[in-house]
Every structure is written in structure tokens, then in C-alpha cells.
């Protein structure tokens, strides 16, 4: 299968004000009007304030925050399910805000795909029919779309369930169908809004690994929304943390955990079991090879430390699923990352 070329996303000075006259208050918000004053005095709600995020092509960008932080509002701007009040959104070379209705529909159909928290499967359609639905809407012939859908059903681990209906599947299996449906579209950008949040912890962990394994092969630009820091650290090449509609900190998992920007971020990361959520790809030194064993990029550093200790080695090479060298990781860096900072006296 030939995958779509990865496409980066750039969000610049993005603002969203909910209410009947958002343009009237945008300058006041830019000048620093608080969310509470905007709501209490003017009856409008500030959804996003001055969001600037570069989402690298072919990587997983996690947007994390608690309820009301603006994370779901943000992801819906990327395919313009929500219209921005101000700012720019570029997906690849396309200015999303400039798209006319017909071009916007085509963009949503061909350039982005979305996976929802509540699965959003059609209950009267089988697994195969749900998976091929988007291709059918695009006018693809029956034979071709069924072959493509069947291939993705197999890749997400549901071969043999093609003729089952959603109510015959577990929650995790239903979300695999949702993932297969999104991926069958071959869109370069995959939007995942709290996609695993409704799943039980063990199933959720399994789905996270499914996504990481698939990403090794498909290299999509994935925007993943979550309220869970452990999930963010496990999945994200880059993480942006929102609070009250503003970006508090962004960077890779190592930067978020080891260099929290403020007390708000510190409160998130203080109880994290770092060894079980930071992956080797987060901690590795890119492009550097060493004399030592190899570990896969998705392996958590606790397991890498166990391997190095067992073999009496000080460093390991980090490879992708195909065995290609990505960089290296040292035991001393792993140990330093696993030790949490002391709380201030």
C-alpha cells in the first residue's frame, strides 16, 4: 500500500470566542481581558487564546488538558468544524480558513480523517460496511473499497469480524473499527478526539500500542486529544498542554516531565511513573550509534534499563520497527529521567 505523504500542521495566533458578537471583543481579549471578565461582563466565552503550535509532519502531536481547557475546541478548528474568530490554520500548503464550501468538503474528505471517543459507528452496518463507508461516499467502486476496507480491518486486528455488527463487539473492538474506517481513507492527517478515553484501562493500553505499531508503518500526522498525562507521554512525539484556552507548555515528553514550565505542570507530572510512560524515542540522542544492544523506539525506559542491566551494558541503540537506527540511549540518562525531582520545602 502506498501511504499518503505526511503533512504538517501550523496554527498561528488562533483565537476563538463563543457568542453572538465575537469580533467585537477580539481586540479586548488580545489586550489581556480575562476569560472571567469576558463571560461575566460581556456574555461571551473565551475558547482559545493566541494558540501557536507547529505540528510536525508524520508525528503524533498530543494536545492535553483538563475538561474546559479548549483541547477539543482546538482539534475541531483543524478541519474547520468550528470557525475561528482570528488566526491562521495551515495544513500542508493549504490555508484552511480560505477554503470555500466545496473545497472545504473535499479537504475534510481527502486530507483529514477523524476518530471519535464514542466510536460513531452505524449500528445497522457491519464492520466491513462501517469501514468502507467513507470510501463509498467518495464514490469508490464496490470491489476496490471492499478490498481496501478488508486490508485495514486485518491491520487493526479484526480479521474474521467483517460481518459482525457493532453491538456484537467490545468497546475496544468497536474503536478498532473506527480506527480502520479513518485509516482506510488514506488521508495524511488523522484527528483523534479522546479516542481511547471511554475504554477500560487494559483495553485502552492495548489500543495505544495498536496505534503506536501502526504509526511505525503509516507515518501519519496524528493529532491526539487526551486529558491523561500517562497517555500523552506514551503516545506523543510532541505534547501541548492547555489550560483555560491557552498553551501552558509544549515540547517532547522528556521536556514536559523533566522541565515543567510552572507549578500547574509540576502538579501533573509529580506522580507520574516515569519509567513506565517515557519511551526510548523520547529520551534518545538522535542519530548517534553506540556499541550495545538494540531496543525499539516504543519500548518504555524501565524495560530498557532492565535489558541494559541484565546485559551489563551502559547504552543501547534505538531502532524503529523496521530495524532502522534512530539514535541511542544511555543507562545514566534513563536513571536520571526515572528519578522525580524533590518537592520544594
Q: How far apart are CA 94 and CA 170, in angstroms?
A: 38
Residue ranges of the chain assigned to CATH 3.90.1280.20: 277-338
Q: How far apart are CA 199 and CA 204, in angstroms?
A: 5
Other CB atoms closer than 10 Å to residue 103's CB: what's the count?
A: 12
Q: What is the largest CA-CA distance in the chain?
A: 67
Helix (H) or strand (E) holding 338: helix 331-338
Rounded to two decimals, what is the model's pTM?
A: 0.83
What pLDDT score was predicted for residue 343?
55
Q: Output the DSSP codes for 283-337.
A: H-EET---SS-EEETTSBHHHHHHHHHHHT-SEEEEE-TT--EEEEEEHHHHHHH
pLDDT tens string, the chain, 345 residues long: the values are: 444 456 899 999 999 999 999 999 999 999 999 999 999 999 999 999 999 999 999 999 999 999 899 999 999 999 999 999 999 999 999 999 999 999 999 999 899 999 887 778 999 999 999 999 989 988 889 999 999 999 999 999 999 999 999 999 998 899 999 999 999 988 999 999 998 988 888 889 999 999 999 998 899 999 999 999 889 988 999 999 999 999 999 998 878 887 889 998 988 888 788 887 788 988 899 988 999 999 999 898 999 999 999 999 999 999 998 899 999 999 999 988 887 665 554
> Does CATH number 3.40.50.300 belong to domain 56-85+92-275?
yes
What pLDDT score was predicted for residue 345?
46
Residue ranges of the chain assigned to CATH 3.40.50.300: 56-85+92-275
Q: How far apart are CA 114 and CA 107, in angstroms?
A: 12
Q: Which fold has domain 277-338?
A: CBS domain Like (3.90.1280)
- Distant-in-sequence, close-in-space partners of 216: CB < 8 Å, separation ≥ 6: 297, 298, 320, 321, 322
Other CB atoms closer than 10 Å to residue 29's CB: what's the count?
A: 25
What pLDDT score was predicted for residue 137?
86
Which residues share a beta bridge with 199?
none
What pLDDT score was predicted for residue 6?
63
Amino acid at each position: 500500500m502506498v501511504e499518503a505523504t505526511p503533512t504538517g500542521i501550523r496554527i498561528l495566533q488562533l483565537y476563538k470566542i463563543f457568542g453572538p458578537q465575537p469580533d467585537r471583543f477580539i481586540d479586548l481579549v488580545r489586550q489581556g481581558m480575562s476569560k472571567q471578565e469576558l463571560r461575566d461582563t460581556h456574555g461571551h466565552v473565551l475558547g482559545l487564546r493566541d494558540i501557536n503550535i507547529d505540528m510536525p509532519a508524520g508525528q503524533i502531536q498530543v494536545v492535553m488538558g483538563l475538561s474546559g481547557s479548549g483541547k477539543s475546541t482546538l482539534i475541531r478548528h483543524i478541519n474547520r468544524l468550528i470557525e475561528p474568530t482570528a488566526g491562521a490554520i495551515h495544513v500542508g500548503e493549504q490555508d484552511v480558513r480560505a477554503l470555500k464550501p466545496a473545497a472545504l468538503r473535499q479537504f475534510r474528505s481527502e486530507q483529514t480523517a477523524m476518530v471519535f471517543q464514542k466510536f460513531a459507528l452505524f449500528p445497522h452496518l457491519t464492520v466491513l460496511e462501517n469501514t468502507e463507508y467513507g470510501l463509498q461516499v467518495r464514490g469508490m467502486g464496490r470491489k476496490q473499497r471492499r478490498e481496501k476496507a478488508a486490508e485495514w480491518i486485518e491491520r487493526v486486528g479484526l480479521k474474521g469480524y467483517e460481518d459482525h455488527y457493532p453491538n456484537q463487539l467490545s468497546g475496544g473492538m468497536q474503536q478498532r473499527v473506527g480506527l480502520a474506517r479513518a485509516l482506510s481513507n488514506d488521508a495524511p492527517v488523522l484527528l483523534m478526539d479522546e479516542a481511547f478515553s471511554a475504554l477500560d484501562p487494559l483495553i485502552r493500553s492495548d489500543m495505544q500500542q495498536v496505534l503506536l505499531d501502526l504509526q511505525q508503518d503509516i507515518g501519519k500526522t496524528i493529532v491526539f486529544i487526551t486529558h491523561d498525562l500517562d497517555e500523552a507521554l506514551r503516545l506523543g512525539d510532541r505534547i501541548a498542554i492547555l489550560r483555560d484556552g491557552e498553551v501552558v507548555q509544549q515540547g517532547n515528553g522528556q521536556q514536559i516531565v523533566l522541565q515543567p514550565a510552572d507549578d500547574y505542570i509540576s502538579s501533573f507530572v509529580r506522580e507520574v511513573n516515569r519509567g513506565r510512560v517515557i519511551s526510548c524515542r523520547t529520551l534518545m540522542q538522535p542519530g548517534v550509534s553506540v556499541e550495545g544492544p538494540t531496543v525499539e523506539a516504543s519500548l518504555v525506559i524501565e524495560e530498557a534499563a532492565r535489558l541494559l542491566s541484565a546485559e551489563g551494558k551502559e547504552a543501547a541503540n534505538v531502532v524503529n520497527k523496521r530495524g532502522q537506527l534512530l539514535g541511542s540511549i544511555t543507562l545514566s540518562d534513563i536513571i536520571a529521567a526515572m528519578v522525580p525531582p524533590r518537592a520544594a520545602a
